[in-house]
Each structure stands twice: as C-alpha cells, then as structure tokens.
Amino acid sequence: MVVADRYTRTAITLHWLIAVLMIGNVTLILFVDTFPDAMVRPAINLHKSIGLTVLGLGLLRVLWRLSHRPPPLPPGMPVWERLGAHAAHLVLYGLILGLPISGWVHDSAFKSAGDFPLYLYGVIPWFRIGPIMALDPATKEQVHTLWFQIHSSLAYVLYAMVALHILGALKHQFIDKQPELQRMLPGRK
Ligand code: HEM
C-alpha cells in the first residue's frame, strides 16, 4: 500500500481557505468599532456571511476528513506530541464549527432580527434558527447574552489554539527538521 506523505489537494484547499476566512473574520470584527458609523452594519453582515461560509466549508472538511485518512505523523514523534497534535486538531475542528454555530444562535436570538433580515454577502437570503426566533422575549434575551459570551469565549480559545498550532508546525519544521509544512502546502511532491 502506498502511504501518502501529504494531505489531499481538497484537504489543503479547505485548510487554507478556512484559515484565511477565520483570521479575516476575527480581524474584521475586532476592528469594527473603528469603522465609520455607516460601515458598521455592513461589516457585521459581512462577518456573519463569512462565518456561515466557514460553517459550510467546515462541515465539508469534517466529511472529507472522515472519508480520507490523513498522512501519518512523522516517525519518531514522541507519544505525548502525537496525542497533543490529535487533541489540538480535534479542538480546532470544534472551533471551526462551534464559532459560527454560536454566532448564528446569538444572532437568531437578536430581538430586532425581523427588522434586519440576514443576507449572505448582501445577496442570498439566509435563515435564522426558527426555534430560537420563536422563544418568548425574556428567554430570547438570555439566549442572546449567553451565546454571545460563548461566541466571544470560543474566540479566545481560537487565539490560543492558532498560536499553539503555528508554533507546533514551526517547531517540527525548524527545530525537529521534519518537513511537516509541505504536508499542508500546495505544490509538487
Ligand atoms: C469563523 C466564524 C466566526 C468567528 C471566528 C467569529 C468571531 C467573532 C469575534 C472574535 C467576535 C467579537 C467578540 C467580542 O467582542 O468579544 C464576534 C462577534 C460577533 N459575531 Fe462572530 N464569529 C464567527 C461567526 C459568526 C456567525 C456565523 C455569526 C452570525 C450568523 C456571527 C455573529 C456575530 C455577532 C452578531 C457579533 C457581535 C458583533 C457586534 O455587535 O459587534 N459570528 N465574532
């Protein structure tokens, strides 16, 4: 059996697309307060559109991962590092799905949602989560607050995990001299 030494082209494309969209989305929303007033609502709408795109791509990625075995980790990697890498990847998958879902729940509990219909990229009408929109006003307000806290807290976990993920990849590349980045970079073998 030939064992692949790098991820498939689809996995590589999804990885970098999701990474760029998530980092772009965090940057956009963290700077939203510095935008002129007229730009704030469109920027938040763009944030939601990018987030929902990440959710779709994340689901595709999970399906791809479940049906395609990734290349094995480099030989000689200590057990703790293998377990750590697997745990970190699992948490990252959780964040790729959990961040958009928590944002979507928070947004679906927005009391003025009816006045601000959701459009993907200002064009495609999109739905909010029906059972959450149907809650009584007091419960809806609680859900709105709680899920914003969850959304915001997951973002902090994301910052820590992305830092760990990048440091881990760089350590293997430059300290352990294992050509790991090539596994997730486009290009020839
Ligand atoms: C890649 C996915 C996403 C990431 C990484 C992300 C990240 C963030 C971050 C870092 C914040 C600021 C939190 C704070 O101020 O403490 C935020 C706010 C927010 N997010 Fe998301 N988010 C994502 C997806 C979504 C989605 C799918 C929705 C809704 C459909 C959404 C709705 C919101 C809303 C309404 C806010 C508050 C904006 C404001 O009023 O300033 N997010 N998000």
- If one residue of 14, 97, 99 were mutated to test the ligand 1 pocket, choosing by the most ligand atoms within 8 A of its CB, it would be 99
Confirm whether 86 is domain-assigned. yes
- If one residue of 47, 57, 153 were mutated to test the ligand 1 pocket, choosing by the most ligand atoms within 8 A of its CB, it would be 47
Expressed in angstroms and rounded, the spacing between residue 50 Cα and the centre of ligand 1 is 10
Angle at alpha carbon of residue 48, lines to 47 and 54, rounded to 5° = 90
Confirm whether 2 is domain-assigned. no
Is any atom of ligand 1 closer than 6 Å to the C-beta of 100?
A: yes
Confirm whether 3 is domain-assigned. no
Return the amino acid letter for 86. H
125 forms beta bridges with 119
Is any atom of ligand 1 closer than 6 Å to the C-beta of 25?
A: yes
pLDDT tens figures, 83-99: 988 999 999 999 999 99
Is any atom of ligand 1 closer than 6 Å to the C-beta of 107?
A: yes
Confirm whether 165 is domain-assigned. yes
Expressed in angstroms and rounded, the spacing between residue 151 Cα and the centre of ligand 1 is 7
Confirm whether 149 is domain-assigned. yes
Q: How many domains does the chain have?
A: 1
Expressed in angstroms and rounded, the spacing between residue 86 Cα and the centre of ligand 1 is 27
Return the amino acid letter for 153. S
Distance CA 22, CA 51 (A): 7
Return the amino acid letter for 85. A
Confirm whether 43 is domain-assigned. yes
Confirm whether 1 is domain-assigned. no
Kindly report the CATH number assigned to the domain that includes residue 165.
1.20.950
Range of the domain at 100: 9-184
Confirm whether 108 is domain-assigned. yes
pLDDT tens, per residue, the chain with 189 residues: 344 578 889 999 999 999 999 999 999 999 999 999 999 999 999 999 999 999 999 999 999 999 998 888 877 888 998 898 899 999 999 999 999 999 999 999 999 998 999 999 999 999 999 999 999 999 999 999 999 999 999 999 999 998 988 888 888 888 887 777 788 888 755
pLDDT tens figures, 168-178: 888 888 888 77
